[in-house]
Structure 1
């Protein structure tokens, strides 16, 4: 019997850095996560966005812990615009972990900020999170979808994914490598774009219900695995 390609276990790359602050707060019995980003975070087309699903998944995986996942996504924004919201939409909420979904609109928009402006904003934001507020940071890179794979966009998308990875390595923060994960689903597991992309999105940019659900579950597991890497205090 032929193997259903959708059952091939393509998994997200594990996080390299421990989530020490998140792990410490788990011991207190309550954690707060803020998800900031654009339409993937805010939600698009009536599909429940990943922060809502992440909350449900973390509650399954961390029974007995009081968990908040606060959605601070704004559709259409890029990194410089998101950075301007940090004071109110991130710092005022006092999160233990921030997930910053970033980079897509700097490739997709017609008149986006330059790669240099985008990466400068990401570095600035990470510095504020890590050093000013001592908050754990996880970046989420681009989605692997037809809208970003056209001749006009593909090179920019690759450059943005590479830049986000380099920044994460420099700053010693984690990346949820969504682009790589979705590429694996498509190229290795044989999942079609018709399944991975929201069928109601004529731009072929936004993830489907299936993709969002699978992504949130893998993100939840990656977060918990990274928390377990944190040094245990005596």
Structure 2
């Protein structure tokens, strides 16, 4: 089912780049997506992670296509560690589309990678993906949650969101702007953090089941809109 605009007046910004490699594989009847990232990707607190939901949602959008979504999330990691896994966890799987959820742990973890280390790794990772010349790329930025909105972290969170956007612009790849989407839900649609955040997460970092479900539908719609197709 599609999202009801009257229920969700804040929608994700459409992708700027067409997913031509993914579309070519969809038209051929088979397509593979690899999702790499940290706890949002891997899953946290018993909540079904977004790659699992994305698989179901994409199969609804593309009912006659054999779509795979392979989850390569590892909780607690950020770009420098994820980059080290690219050969085995991305390229060896021959994906047509890679969704890289990145940036949060650099902001949230006091002992995490530095801003410079994280942005350098994102640039290098995107360059590697583009050099393959057969992979479409979506970067997924931070979640808008209390853990990264504290006075000590908010400026760094904004800077990381901006850096991811700038890298995507320079490299001509897509960004799923999760931070702006969730901020709009909270500030415009007046959805409380008690609903946006996993109620069992004392860190106030991880998204709720509700948020994960709605976010995944927004991501699915954005992928579908950016995929040239006959139907």
Cα offsets for 1:140-160 (capped at 9, x unmatched): 000000000000110110000
Cα offsets for 1:34-54 (capped at 9, x unmatched): 000000000000000000000
CA distance in 1 between partners of 2:125 and 2:11 (Å): 28
Partner residue in 1 for 2:193 = 193
4+ long deviations beyond 2 Å: none
- Runs of 5+ consecutive residues of structure 1 not aligned to the other structure: 1-5
Partner residue in 2 for 1:156 = 156
2:63 partner SS: coil
Cα offsets for 1:169-219 (capped at 9, x unmatched): 000000000000000000000000000000000000000000000000110
How many residues are treated as equivalent by the alignment? 226
Partner residue in 1 for 2:120 = 120
CA distance in 1 between partners of 2:194 and 2:70 (Å): 30
TM-score by length of 1: 0.94
TM-score by length of 2: 0.95
Partner residue in 2 for 1:3 = none
- Runs of 5+ consecutive residues of structure 2 not aligned to the other structure: 1-5
Cα offsets for 1:28-77 (capped at 9, x unmatched): 10100000000000000000000000000001111111010000000000
CA distance in 1 between partners of 2:203 and 2:112 (Å): 17
Partner residue in 2 for 1:70 = 70
1:163 partner SS: helix
CA distance in 2 between partners of 1:135 and 1:40 (Å): 22
Give the alignment of 1:102-113 within 5 angstroms: 102-113=102-113
CA distance in 2 between partners of 1:53 and 1:101 (Å): 15
CA distance in 2 between partners of 1:151 and 1:9 (Å): 28
Cα offsets for 1:88-125 (capped at 9, x unmatched): 00000000000000000000111122211111100111
